[in-house]
Amino acid sequence: MNVLVVGKMPSPVTLIIRDNGCRVSEWAAPINVEYLKGNSIDFLVSYGYRHIIQKPVIEHLQGRIVNLHISLLPWNRGADPNLWSFLEDTPKGVTIHYVDEGLDTGDIIAQKELFFDEEYETLATTYEKLNDSIVELFREYWPKIMGGQVQGLKQPVSGSFHRLEDKHRFEHLLAEKGWNTPVKEIVAKAFSSGPKL
pLDDT digits (tens, 9 = 90+) for 46-65: 999 999 999 999 999 999 99
Which phi and psi (to 5°) does residue 62 adopt? 45, 70
Is residue 32 a part of any domain in this protein?
yes
- Contact call for residues 110 and 93 (beta carbons, < 8 A): no
Is residue 26 a part of any domain in this protein?
yes
State the Cα angle at 144 between 45 and 38, rounded to 5°.
Answer: 35
Percent of the chain with pLDDT over 70: 97
CATH number of 64's domain: 3.40.50.170
The stretch 135-150 carries a mean pLDDT of 97
Is residue 171 a part of any domain in this protein?
yes
Is residue 197 a part of any domain in this protein?
no
Distance CA 131, CA 59 (A): 28
The count of structural domains within the chain is 1
Is residue 95 a part of any domain in this protein?
yes
pLDDT tens column, 112-126: 999 999 999 999 999
pLDDT (0 to 100) of residue 146: 96
Domain span at 20: 2-192
Is residue 18 a part of any domain in this protein?
yes
Is residue 27 a part of any domain in this protein?
yes
Torsion of CA 20, 138, 47, 33, to 10 degrees: 50
Judge whether residue 92 has pLDDT over 80: yes
The stretch 168-186 carries a mean pLDDT of 91
195 — pLDDT class (breaks 50, 70, 90): very low
Q: What is the pTM of this model?
A: 0.94
